[in-house]
């Protein structure tokens, strides 16, 4: 039987296909020989916070790429293992356990929601694997949940709400109404505001609790109108913030009342639009527009723009970047990859990855950092990313955190 050209071509295709199929396997073997430093990254790729989570992944991948491009640790490269925790604490715990037991990760960085970060922390703490959390929580640093392996890169509600309160109360007035999502996040934020307001003579007219994920807030608004507050605080997050801001605007509450939010996210503002958020101010861990004032922000934004087609990183994205960079820097500093030694190095770390100087407080491993106060704008926007004015940056200061004793830590070294 003679080979026809068609047969020849088919054979070539089959061989080429086999080579392509085998390539990842070869690549894996090559990597295994180099024994990569593996970092597990459980985040909610599906669910209500998936937009933020996907940005966390993009920024984390950038951090890994930069570190590898700089030569890694004595030629040892880093690898990111992303897993979807579906915004579910049980799923997060299972994925984390799998990352540790099956994938043999060296460290875990990630999470987005207080409940998942606590469940991830429970697993990593028990297995003595270093975990750097990149989502807001007050409780993760408290003595009962904390361990030598627990780090918290994100801001916490106490710090964020406090900074916004310290900025807004003296400027806009002392009579305050809270519209609060009825779960831990909302309650913690209200506590943060009330603490910041205590010394300033701030008076709470009402703390109205609304169910989490409500679509319509109009029924709460006549009462708020009647109370005539100087400030209305929307202590809610994501879509709840978008809906309540939109409806408060419709009811004309902005005439005579300043609306503030503890956490004003870039992604929420994009989803809600300029009209709904016009004039609302809030706190955030990061806004790309800080690059005018902060050189490390400029550097980070430029790298992100270059990697992702001109897109700018969001606040939660930036946390993914910092969370990974800190851990990888600590690997270098410790000259080791085991969690105990890296944890000790991380405690000593002074860093400025994207927003100015940061460090982890010794007693509870909370990252001491600045809080950015931003105001949403609807006019004179340079492009679609230009959504906030940076009003102030509250500098990193330990005194804005709850004390180590308050958190239940006995040893403060």
Partner 1 sequence: MEITPSLLALQLVTGIALGAVYALLAIGLSLIFGMLTVVNFAHGAFFMVGAFIGLYFMGLTGNFWFSLVLTPLVVGVLGLVTERFLVRPLYGRGIDYPLLLTFGLSWVLIEAMRVMFGIEGIPSSTPPELRGAVDLGIGFFPKYRLFLIFATAVVVLALWLFLEKTRYGLIVRAGSRDGEICKVLGIDIARVWLVVFGIGTAIAGLSGVLAAPTRAVNPEMGIHVLAESFVVTVVGGMGSLPGAVLAGLLVGIVFSLTSLFAPDLAELSIFVLMAVVLLLRPQGFFGKAGLMS
Among 189, 253, 244, CA closest to 224: 253
Burial of 57 (0-12, 13-18, 19+ CB in 10 A): middle
Tell me how many residues contact partner 1 (CB under 8 A): 38
Sites for partner 1 among residues 183-212 (CB under 8 A):
206, 208-211
Span from 126-134, 160-168, 246-254, 343-351 in contact with partner 1 (CB under 8 A): 246-254
- With binding defined as CB under 8 A, does residue 39 bind partner 1? no
- With binding defined as CB under 8 A, does residue 270 bind partner 1? yes
Tally of CB atoms within 10 A around 309 = 6
Q: How far is CA 290 from CA 28, 34, 72, 390, in A?
A: 40, 39, 29, 7
Least separation in angstroms between CB 224 and partner 1: 10
Least separation in angstroms between CB 275 and partner 1: 5
DSSP state of 366: B
Residue of 84, 145, 250, 352 interacting with partner 1 (CB under 8 A): 250
Residue of 67, 149, 167, 220 interacting with partner 1 (CB under 8 A): 220
Residue of 272, 282, 313, 356 interacting with partner 1 (CB under 8 A): 272
Least separation in angstroms between CB 368 and partner 1: 31
Least separation in angstroms between CB 219 and partner 1: 4
Least separation in angstroms between CB 215 and partner 1: 5
Burial of 172 (0-12, 13-18, 19+ CB in 10 A): middle
- With binding defined as CB under 8 A, does residue 18 bind partner 1? no
The residue length of the chain stands at 413
CB within 8 Å of 293: residues ≥ 6 apart: 390, 393
Tally of CB atoms within 10 A around 95 = 27
- With binding defined as CB under 8 A, does residue 216 bind partner 1? yes
Q: How far is CA 61 from CA 15, 35, 265, 360, in A?
A: 33, 18, 21, 23
Residue of 17, 71, 90, 222 interacting with partner 1 (CB under 8 A): 222
Sign of CA dihedral 60, 115, 327, 42: negative
- With binding defined as CB under 8 A, does residue 267 bind partner 1? yes
Q: Which residues bind partner 1 (CB under 8 A)?
A: 48, 50-51, 182, 206, 208-211, 213-216, 218-223, 225-227, 239, 242-243, 246-247, 250-252, 267, 270-276
């Amino acid at each position: 039987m003679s080979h026809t050209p068609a047969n020849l071509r088919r054979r070539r295709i089959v061989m080429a296909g086999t080579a392509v199929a085998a390539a990842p396997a070869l690549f894996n073997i090559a990597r295994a020989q180099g024994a990569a430093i593996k970092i597990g990254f459980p985040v909610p790729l599906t669910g209500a916070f998936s937009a933020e989570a996907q940005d966390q992944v993009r920024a984390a991948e950038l951090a890994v790429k930069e570190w590898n491009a700089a030569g890694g640790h004595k030629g040892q490269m880093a690898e990111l293992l992303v897993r979807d925790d579906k915004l579910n604490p049980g799923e997060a715990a299972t994925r984390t356990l799998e990352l540790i037991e099956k994938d043999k990760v060296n460290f875990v960085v990630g999470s987005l929601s207080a409940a998942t970060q606590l469940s991830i922390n429970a697993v990593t703490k028990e297995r003595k694997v270093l975990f750097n959390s990149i989502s807001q929580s007050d409780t993760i640093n408290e003595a009962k949940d904390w361990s030598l392996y627990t780090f918290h890169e994100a801001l916490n509600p106490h710090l964020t709400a406090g900074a916004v309160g310290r900025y807004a109360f003296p400027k806009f007035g002392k009579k305050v109404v809270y519209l609060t999502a009825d779960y831990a996040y909302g309650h913690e934020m209200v506590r943060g505001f009330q603490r910041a307001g205590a010394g300033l003579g701030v008076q709470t007219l009402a703390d109205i609790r609304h169910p989490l994920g409500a679509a319509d807030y109009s029924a709460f608004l006549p009462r708020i109108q009647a109370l005539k507050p100087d400030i209305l605080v929307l202590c809610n997050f994501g879509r709840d913030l978008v809906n309540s801001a939109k409806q408060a605007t419709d009811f004309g509450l902005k005439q005579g009342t300043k609306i503030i939010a503890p956490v004003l996210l870039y992604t929420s503002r994009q989803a809600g639009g300029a009209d709904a958020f016009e004039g609302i101010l809030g706190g955030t861990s990061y806004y790309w527009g800080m690059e005018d004032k902060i050189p490390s922000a400029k550097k980070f934004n430029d790298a992100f723009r270059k990697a992702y087609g001109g897109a700018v990183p969001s606040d939660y994205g930036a946390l993914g970047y910092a969370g990974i960079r800190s851990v990888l820097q600590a690997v270098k500093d410790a000259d080791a990859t085991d969690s105990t030694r890296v944890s000790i190095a991380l405690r000593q770390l002074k860093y400025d990855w994207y927003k100015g100087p940061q460090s982890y407080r010794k007693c509870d491993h909370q990252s001491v950092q600045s809080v950015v106060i931003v105001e949403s704008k609807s006019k004179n926007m340079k492009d679609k990313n230009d959504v906030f004015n940076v009003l102030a940056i509250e500098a990193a200061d330990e005194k804005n955190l709850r004390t180590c004793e308050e958190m239940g830590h006995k040893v403060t070294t």
